[in-house]
Amino acid sequence: MEWIEITADWDAESLRKVTARSETEQNDVEATVAAILADVKANGDAAVLAYNKKFDGCNCKDLRISEAEIEAALQEVGPEMVAILKEAADNIRVYHEEQIMKSWLKEFRPGVRLGTHITPIRRVGLYVPGGRAAYPSTVLMDAVPAKVAGVPSLVMISPPNKDGRINPYILAAAHVAGVDEMYRVGGAQGIAALAYGTETIRPVYKIVGPGNMYVATAKKQVFGTVGIDMIAGPSEVGVIADSSANPTWVAADLLAQAEHDPMAAVYLATPDKALAEQVVAEVERQMTGAPREEIMRSSVERWMRVFVTPDIETAVAVMNGIAPEHLELALDNPEIWLPKVENAGAIFMGHYTPEPVGDYFAGPNHTLPTSGTAAFSSPLGVYDYSKRSSILSYDKQALTAIAHKVEALAKAEGLYGHAASVAVRHSEEVTNEN
């Protein structure tokens, strides 16, 4: 934990370094991943099955998850949990429907119609981690917006355990969200199967979802062949608190973030130093004996920062410099500070909106830009599963009217063929020199 006193002459840009938590050399990972990608590209299913055995200890033959397995998973998690998953999926769906883009075409100038043609990506792959980090909520958050966008073919992959099984909560969430195909394969080999295709798994056009270092590196390496979502780094929360905040609640919210990962970072900015001291004491009290105490303590010790600021405005500016994934405004009047927020993945308003509400239930996406990337990127959404194509339409008169200007610009750029393609339409003679 570190206390940072913000004074009048502070430098907002220095905060960009606060969020940089990992810039390790990973040349070994790069090479290992490249070899796995090449193997799967060349050898398809055979390579995938061999890696399933090697990395996951799974001696399975069928990559595809059957209807019977999905049915068994629904039984196992029980009807009450399925109902909660459905309600969460509905909330996510309703919120994301606000993001649907519509095609349009309109006349901007006489004879000049311009517009946008919106289409879904044809086939998308979702990566879902296995083991400790198996989060059914992430399946909903990644899959529901794809279906809202109209993606006709949505594929999920996840690493199997030794018996070839996938966490039943994951399968139940995928079923509820409308995933079309599910396969048992994880790691770089799973990313390769999605990007290049195998005998069993047809290739996709985009891959989304979190994963470990091998998965993230594989996604980076196949980027270009397919689209990818952001590369998720460790998670973080920032809380801006005034004297109206309850230190017990603020501490609980900081720890909810800290329990994710020893690399998770938690930031508090407040003008009320006494409050800050109470929060710090509460953090210590609440994490002692908590089920995930070890992870929490590691995160808090290394990555908790307490900023004591001259005023709320400066606290907001500090968080804008950090660009946290989650930003809680534990303030009496969060609305008046909202317009000042520049950089945050998601903003939680007031004392009764703890961050976990957004993880599961509210509706907005929990796949958010991490590690300061909220300064230049946005939550996952329908946009990520849709494409825009520009539409241009000139009639003869409209083209003739601007022909000489297009030709002048083309020639300024030395592109005579560009000029010719316009000129040819208003002269019978094609002149190459034109």
Backbone angles phi, psi at 392, to 5 degrees: -130, 135
Member of 11, 79, 110, 417 binding a second copy (CB under 8 A): 417
Q: Determine if 74 is a binding residue for a second copy (CB under 8 A).
A: no
Q: State which amino acid sits at residue 259.
A: E
| Cα 34 → chain centroid | 23
Member of 53, 54, 117, 162 binding a second copy (CB under 8 A): 117
d(CA 422, CA 426): 7
CA angle, 389 as apex, 383 and 390 as ends, to 5°? 125
3-class DSSP assignment, residue 98: helix
Member of 121, 144, 218, 331 binding a second copy (CB under 8 A): 121
Is position 404 annotated in a ligand binding site? no
| Per rule CB under 8 A, count of chain residues that contact a second copy | 127
Is position 107 annotated in a ligand binding site? no
**Is 325 marked active-site?**
yes
Is position 257 annotated in a ligand binding site? yes
Is position 397 annotated in a ligand binding site? no
Q: Determine if 104 is a binding residue for a second copy (CB under 8 A).
A: yes
Q: How far is the CB of 372 from a second copy (least distance, A)?
A: 9
Member of 14, 28, 132, 163 binding a second copy (CB under 8 A): 132
Among 69, 96, 175, 326, the active-site one is: 326
Is residue 191 within 8 A of residue 207, CB to CB? The reply is yes
d(CA 347, CA 39): 43
- By beta-carbon proximity to a second copy, the closer residue of 308 and 351 is 351
Q: How far is the CB of 172 from a second copy (least distance, A)?
A: 10
Binding segment for a second copy among 53-61, 186-194, 311-319, 421-429 (CB under 8 A)?
421-429
Helix (H) or strand (E) holding 130: none
Member of 203, 261, 263, 278 binding a second copy (CB under 8 A): 203
- By beta-carbon proximity to a second copy, the closer residue of 98 and 332 is 98
First-to-last CA distance in the chain?
A: 69
Is residue 234 within 8 A of residue 264, CB to CB? The reply is yes
Site residues for a second copy, 300-339, by CB under 8 A, read 327, 334, 338
d(CA 419, CA 269): 58
Is residue 197 within 8 A of residue 45, CB to CB? The reply is no
Among 236, 325, 328, 355, the active-site one is: 325
Site residues for a second copy, 355-374, by CB under 8 A, read 355-365, 368, 371, 373-374
Q: Determine if 263 is a binding residue for a second copy (CB under 8 A).
A: no
How many CB atoms are closer than 10 A to CB 286?
16
Active-site residue set: 325-326
